[in-house]
Amino acid sequence: MELKSLVKISEYEWEIPQKGSMRVPGRIFASKKLIEEMDEKVREQVTNVACLPGIVRASIAMPDAHWGYGFPIGGVAAFDPDDEGIISVGGVGYDISCGVRSLRTGLKREEVEPVLEELIDELFHTIPAGVGSEGKIKLSVSQLDEVLVGGARWAVAKGYGFPEDLEYIEEKGCLPGADPKCVSIEAKKRQHRQVGTLGSGNHYLEIQYVAEIYHPEAAEAFGLELGDVVVSIHCGSRALGHQIATDYLKVLAKASKKYGIPIKERELVCAPIRSPEGEQYYRAMACGVNCALANRQVITHLVREVFAEVLPQARISLIYDVSHNTCKIEEHEVNGKMKKLYVHRKGATRAWGPGRRELPERYRHVGQPVIIGGSMGTASYILVGTKEGEEKAFGSACHGAGRTMSRHQALKRWRADKIIAELRKRGIIVRAKSKRGLVEEAPEAYKDVIEVVEAAHRAGLARKVVKLLPMGCIKG
């Protein structure tokens, strides 16, 4: 992206000036290096989002932003339902509620390393992964409807976890407002055996250890010390979320024309929040969120079962579960008044600062854990939300490293056996269902996660708490 098209606010904050049909300015949080690496399409998409009705304050992009459908991936925008605000499929994405859940194990690195290969193999054989992967849970349409309404609460009620798990999941494990009648039969049919599966693409399950601590107070609140082993699960709503997005792109395309909303890009189709179409999409999207929360809860149960066999002294508990492809109804201050806004985060993580009543009591004095996944073989991070980030970006931060190379380009450049061997030399064990999928997710196909996290930290969006390094990784 050309710097001359931006106004520099600070070393880590840049503005796209409001002009033409833009209702608000654009705002990009990134270092100079990350800005220069961004495709020009990111600037274009941030600008297009700034033209949508009811947008509040700014159209925002995170440090890991890259080109997406409609919104950039790493895009954040809040809309006011009292001021013609809209809801957009492009602002949520296809993998509804894709997110990361991190678990404490109660174990140290030196306890796990002697049995690491056995542990990774057992996890790989127990947790279904890969394109179209199916689990042991087979649900009828009516049973799946219970999942779509209940989310992780449904899973816990069925024995997949403990009630205390719910305290450490966004929305306490269930997003209100879900209505299965707004989800197509096709979407439900595609999902009936996918609860408790990892999926493919950039999804993973990773064994990690705490390598560095930057914020001792927050690390203590999160129950983390140097050398602690952590399990991170990255996946979403699987086929159901994808089908909901596909279905509602058509619905909202008609709604955009019906309500006379000018659209700059096909995937930016939208509907007024308070229109029948807008309400239906929100209810369907909430079903997708709950499906993802149930999915990660069931996978957590499977992780517990494997650890009980291989390392019975383990005590698996949730650090946090946070999504990064959602639209949430949240209260934020606008012009000195608290307002309910519809906050779209696409490839962006909620990052609330201290004091929010929605946070677990254990974390309320420091803020919300913000889990930033690295690319396979690189570092991941846990940050903590800030009040400054709430003011600047509606309490949002980046969600990962962000791609710099297409999957097609990656396939031309690397071989699976070479990636596995190089990671093995570094002591990282990798298991993958697909060699193609492994190559598409090569670490070098992503931005430098250290640079991305540092930009979020320096911009004040969230503060670094701990650095996690990988020991083993499972890919679809």
List pLDDT tens digits, range 121-143: 999 999 988 777 788 888 888 89
In this structure, the number of other CB atoms found within 10 A of the CB of residue 133 comes to 18
pLDDT over 80 at 404, yes or no: no
Distance of alpha carbon 243 from alpha carbon 248, whole angstroms: 9
* Domain locations along the chain: 3-475
- Residue-wise pLDDT for 368-389, tens only, equals 999 999 877 899 999 999 999 9
Could you say which of 1.10.3720.10, 3.40.1710.10, 3.30.930.10, 3.90.1860.10 is the CATH number of the domain covering 3-475? 3.90.1860.10
Contact indicator for 153, 147 with CB cutoff of 8 Å: no
Mean pLDDT over 209-223 rounds to: 98
Give the residue numbers marked as catalytic: 399
In this structure, the number of other CB atoms found within 10 A of the CB of residue 254 comes to 12
In this structure, the number of other CB atoms found within 10 A of the CB of residue 339 comes to 16
pLDDT at 10: 97
In this structure, the number of other CB atoms found within 10 A of the CB of residue 216 comes to 12
Mean pLDDT over 332-360 rounds to: 96
Mean pLDDT over 197-203 rounds to: 86
Q: Which helix (H) or strand (E) holds 143?
A: helix 141-150
Q: Which residues are annotated as a binding site for GMP?
A: 202-206, 324-325, 373-376, 380, 399-402, 475
pLDDT category, 325, cuts 50, 70, 90? Answer: very high
pLDDT at 113: 97
Contact indicator for 172, 156 with CB cutoff of 8 Å: no
Torsional sign, CA 87, 88, 92, 94: positive
Token look-up 């609330």 returns 352
Lowest mean pLDDT among 56-60, 236-240, 269-273: 236-240
Q: Which of 285, 197, 214, 295 is nearest to 243 (CA)?
A: 285
> How far, CA to CA in Å, does 106 sit from each of 231, 262, 316, 319, 362?
11, 53, 7, 12, 18
Q: Which residues are annotated as a binding site for Mn(2+)?
A: 95, 203, 234, 324
% of the chain beyond a pLDDT of 70: 100
Contact indicator for 62, 45 with CB cutoff of 8 Å: no
Task: Identify the three-state secondary structure at position 251.
Answer: helix
pLDDT at 199: 86
Instruction: Go through the chain and tell me how many residues it has.
Output: 476
In this structure, the number of other CB atoms found within 10 A of the CB of residue 69 comes to 18
Where on the phi/psi map is residue 55: left (φ > 0), alpha (ψ -120 to 50), or beta? Answer: beta
The whole-model pTM stands at 0.95
Mean pLDDT score across all residues of the chain = 94
Q: Which of 428, 397, 384, 451 is nearest to 224 (CA)?
A: 384
440 exposed, middle or buried (CB, 10 Å; 0-12, 13-18, 19+)? Answer: buried
pLDDT over 80 at 414, yes or no: no
Q: Which residues are annotated as a binding site?
A: 95, 202-206, 234, 324-325, 373-376, 380, 399-402, 475
Distance of alpha carbon 403 from alpha carbon 441, whole angstroms: 9
pLDDT category, 90, cuts 50, 70, 90? Answer: very high
